[in-house]
Structure 1
Amino acid sequence: MVVAARRMGKGRGDLMVPPSTPQAPADAAAAFAGKVAAATPLSGGPRGPKAPLPFSLFPCVRWLLTFLLLLAFTAPATASERARALDARVDLALAELRATVPGATDLLDRARGVLVMPRVLRGGFIVGATTGEGALRVDGRTVDFYTIAGASIGFQAGGEVSRHALLFMTDEALADFRAGAGSGWEVGASASVTMFTLGAEDRMRLGGPDPEIIGIVFGQRGLMGGVSLDGSRYTRVER
């Protein structure tokens, strides 16, 4: 009897539960998407209000736009102020050069152009680095701005601040410098520079030919001797 009842129950179950039909892949994907949509509340929909953000984006965007506008208006003024400040330092360096180095005024008056680096810093230990910035003057006015960089190897310590001037005595030397300084013009590789000394200045006054490029390194006490510019690299920059 029990066995028969179980068989009959199994039979009834088979009759009550219809056989499942396999779903097509597209139907299964649609059903899954419907479940996901039902579980995800839509903003402003009947399923509930939108969860508040931890902060509002509108004030942040407003402050960002304000900052960008201020930066756009103040950046050119800042660059212009830096250029004017550098020009003022060049004026002071030229006045100092004329006042402290005998014979410099005559050379400056005859030069076709002069590159003035009013503050050049050289320092390091074992490996020294040279950095600075200046301006090129042609006919008494600034035409371009330049940076100087260089390195030297040897026992050295501490730092040294000086001023540099390159005097271009011919139009050809000046043109070659301006053409090459866009990618970097190096003393010794791009052209040779004759360093100015008091003895050399005396010989020039006696009628000897001027070198194409004369280099002068000076400080607050006048001419600094025993200094070489070999390896110094000058590069034109925007100001």
Structure 2
Amino acid sequence: MRTLVAFAVLLCTFMAGPATAASKAEIDAKTKAALTAFYEHSSAGKELVQKSRGMLVFPEVIKAGVGIGGEYGEGKLIEAGKTTGYYNIAAASIGFQLGAQIKSQIILFMTQDSLNQFKRSEGWKAGVDGSVALVTLGAGGEIDSNNIKDPIIGFIFSNKGLMYNLSLEGSKITRLNK
């Protein structure tokens, strides 16, 4: 029964959305920390960031579920070192699941066309509006070179530096008015 109550509270927190939205300053500070952690674990990732046309950084994506799950996070789009917009990412799932986790996500737009397509969209959905090639890091932050030619590259990691081979498919990304 306690689990059900906890899930209901968590679900209400997710549904509250704008009432608990982070400020620009909070998103900026968390983004800086997430990028620092990412660069510490992968110099090759830093090189890819420098080659990209833009990057979406979601420093804290909270995922939780008990049978029915959801995830939500807020972040920003950075182009040529400058913030050009704030976004949220959300997804829902049904199936065997129990627990919660916090992860960071970075999505790199390697071509101007892929970045433009993302920016023109009202609500961009991974796997529908654009396929994201998830990159896994090897020992020492090495990157699987098979994914480098993809127009959109994604990284998912935790604040402990562990890389997860998870999916972004079905995640919806929407611009925030900040």
TM-score between the two structures when normalised by the length of structure 1: 0.61
Q: 1:94 aligns with which of 35, 38, 41?
A: 35
Looking at secondary structure, tell me which structure has more strand per residue: 2
**Gapped regions of structure 1 (runs ≥ 5):** 1-78
What is the Cα deviation at residue 103 of structure 1?
Answer: 1.8
Distance 1:190 1:173 in 2: 10
Write the deviation string for residues 204-229 of structure 1: whole angstroms up to 9, x where unpaired. 5xxx8521000100112224222101
Identity %: 37
SS of aligned partner of 1:222: coil
What is the Cα deviation at residue 127 of structure 1?
Answer: 1.4
TM-score between the two structures when normalised by the length of structure 2: 0.81
Runs of 4+ in 1 over 4 A off after TM superposition: none
Q: 1:105 aligns with which of 46, 60, 63?
A: 46
Q: Which residue of 2 aligns with 1:136?
A: 77
Q: Check whether the contact 1:128–1:151 (CA below 8 A) recurs between aligned residues.
A: yes
CA RMSD, Structure 1 to Structure 2 (Å): 1.9
Q: 1:126 aligns with which of 67, 74, 95?
A: 67
Q: Which moved more, 1:134-143 or 1:94-103?
A: 94-103
Q: Which residue of 2 aligns with 1:189?
A: 128
Count, aligned residues: 155
Q: Which residue of 1 aligns with 2:170?
A: 231
Write the deviation string for residues 178-214 of structure 1: whole angstroms up to 9, x where unpaired. 111xx2100011110000113682425xxx8521000
Asked which structure has the greater CA Rg, the reply is 1
| 1:178 and 2:119 are equivalent in the alignment | yes
Identify which of structures 1 and 2 has the higher relative contact order when contacts are C-alpha pairs closer than 8 Å and 6+ apart: 2
Looking at secondary structure, tell me which structure has more helix per residue: 1
Q: Check whether the contact 1:165–1:216 (CA below 8 A) recurs between aligned residues.
A: yes
Q: How does 1:26-65 map to 2 (within 5 A)?
A: none
